[in-house]
Amino acid sequence: MQIALRSQGETAELRHGVSCLWPSEIAEQFYCEYKVHLKRLHPEVLIELAPLELGKIGHDTLATQAEPVTAAEIEESIRKAKKLAICEWVLEGNFRGVRIRGRPDLFAFEGKKALLLLEFKFSSATEPFRDHKVQSEIYAWLTESMGFTAEQLCFGIVMFPPIGHESAPRTVALSKAVIFDLFNQTGTLHAIYESCETARRAQLVNKPKRTTVKGKGWKAYLFPYDANKAVRDLSWAVGYWLSKREPIPVKRSPRKCFSCVFNAVKLCEHALQQPNPSFGVRRLPDGRVSVYLRSKQAPTLKRECCYVKEHLLPYPGDR
């Protein structure tokens, strides 16, 4: 059995010659669309920040807590209406001629009923930002494009403290070793899933606008899926990619400009303040530009969990 995409006409011609959009990049438009524009205009700018690398390591490490699954096994489970929770399974859809493709950190379903969709984020923020919610919302919209029903679907953001802020190679290598030990000793992924699935069922009954779930070293925020809101957000975002309007810069959040690498290399004419003085810039012989954070002190690791590859996380009753 193949999962059919809902066809919505021919593929549109997109800005920068891209053929497909990713939910993470669309979500970035809600943080600073002009930064998204500059990333596409200046691929020579290399962003070498340790938190990004450590986040990727977290993704790979958590995969050791889930069992690999094949496409045939997924299709058989859907056909038999079996409950599954899958990490980083590829979802695809077409919105007004724009192809969208992404891999949510965790997607749980029963047969063709979408149930729970989670994204994991490292952040010092105590609440998810709008772009975090938009990314999860778009993944939820993609489940409908894949033929799943979404009446019982809740999407959420699982927040973790940052796992490091340094960019020195030795510091990153040390941090990776500690992260591997922490992740392999815990069953955090299963704990997150089970707690959020319980909260999802309660949310369907009580119908709050948001449900908060607290765990050891993490905190999740669940929202009921609203298809109309997802369509409104996508409509605004694809306007840029279809060249119906120019990119919109940040106008009221100077702190975003302070932490922007494109401000550090003086490529943004809309910056509201000077960049972080801790940014370092290296001009490489091949014409590329490397941006990094100068190391000041050893990082404090507070994390116990992060992302996953495409693996199967069985429901407790299926073990």
Give 62-104 pLDDT, tens digit per residue: 545 556 777 888 888 888 888 999 888 999 999 999 999 999 9
What Cα–Cα distance (Å) separates residue 70 from each residue in 75, 76, 86? 9, 10, 11
Residue 7 falls within a domain, yes or no? no
pLDDT of residue 308: 33
pLDDT of residue 123: 79
Average pLDDT, the chain: 82
The number of domains in the chain is 1
Return the ∠ at Cα 291 (arms to 267 and 103), rounded to 5°: 95
Q: Which of 44-53, 94-103, 117-126, 234-243 has the lowest mean pLDDT?
A: 44-53
Which helix (DSSP H) or strand (DSSP E) does residue 196 occupy?
Answer: helix 188-206
d(CA 212, CA 220): 6
| Contacts of range 187-190, beta carbons closer than 8 Å, 24 or more positions apart | 187/65, 188/62, 188/65, 188/215, 188/216, 188/217, 188/218, 188/304, 188/305, 189/62, 189/65, 189/66, 189/87, 189/106, 189/305, 189/308, 189/313, 190/65, 190/313
Q: What are the φ/ψ torsions at residue 121 (nearest 5 degrees)? A: -130, 140
Average pLDDT score over residue span 139-144: 97
Between 209 and 53, whose confidence is greater? 209
Distance in angstroms between the alpha carbons of the first and the last residue of the chain:
24
* pLDDT band for position 277 (cuts 50, 70, 90): very high
Report pTM: 0.82
* pLDDT band for position 266 (cuts 50, 70, 90): very high
**Residues with Cβ within 8 Å of residue 252, at least 6 apart in sequence:** none
Cβ atoms of 46 and 262 within 8 Å: the answer is no
Q: Is the pLDDT of residue 153 over 90?
A: yes
Residue 248 falls within a domain, yes or no? yes
Q: Which of 202-206, 215-219, 283-287 has the lowest mean pLDDT?
A: 215-219
Q: Is the pLDDT of residue 314 over 60?
A: no
> What percent of the chain is modeled with pLDDT above 90?
60
In 10 A of CB 124, how many CB atoms? Answer: 8
Cβ atoms of 104 and 88 within 8 Å: the answer is yes
* pLDDT band for position 299 (cuts 50, 70, 90): very low
Helix (H, G, I), strand (E, B), or coil: what is residue 281? strand
pLDDT of residue 248: 97
d(CA 152, CA 131): 23
- Find tokens 């029963």 and name the residue: 110
Q: What are the φ/ψ torsions at residue 246 (nearest 5 degrees)? A: -85, 160
Strands 113-122 and 154-160: parallel
pLDDT of residue 72: 85
Residue 280 falls within a domain, yes or no? yes
Residue 6 falls within a domain, yes or no? no
Largest CA distance in the chain: 61
Residue 35 falls within a domain, yes or no? yes
Residue 10 falls within a domain, yes or no? no
pLDDT of residue 122: 79
The residue type found at 72 is A
Q: What are the φ/ψ torsions at residue 93 (nearest 5 degrees)? A: -160, 170
Helix (H, G, I), strand (E, B), or coil: what is residue 201? helix
Residue 42 falls within a domain, yes or no? yes
Q: Is the pLDDT of residue 17 over 90?
A: yes
The residue type found at 46 is L
Q: Is the pLDDT of residue 251 over 50?
A: yes
Q: Which range marks the domain in which residue 307 is found?
A: 15-318
Residue environment code for 217-232, b if the CB has 16+ CB neighbours within 10 A, otherwise e: ebbbbbbbbbeeebee
Q: Is the pLDDT of residue 311 over 70?
A: no
pLDDT of residue 310: 40
Kindly report, residue by residue over 45-62, the tens digit of the pLDDT: 998 876 555 555 554 555
60 by Cβ neighbours in 10 Å (0-12 / 13-18 / 19+) ranks as: middle
Residue 221 falls within a domain, yes or no? yes
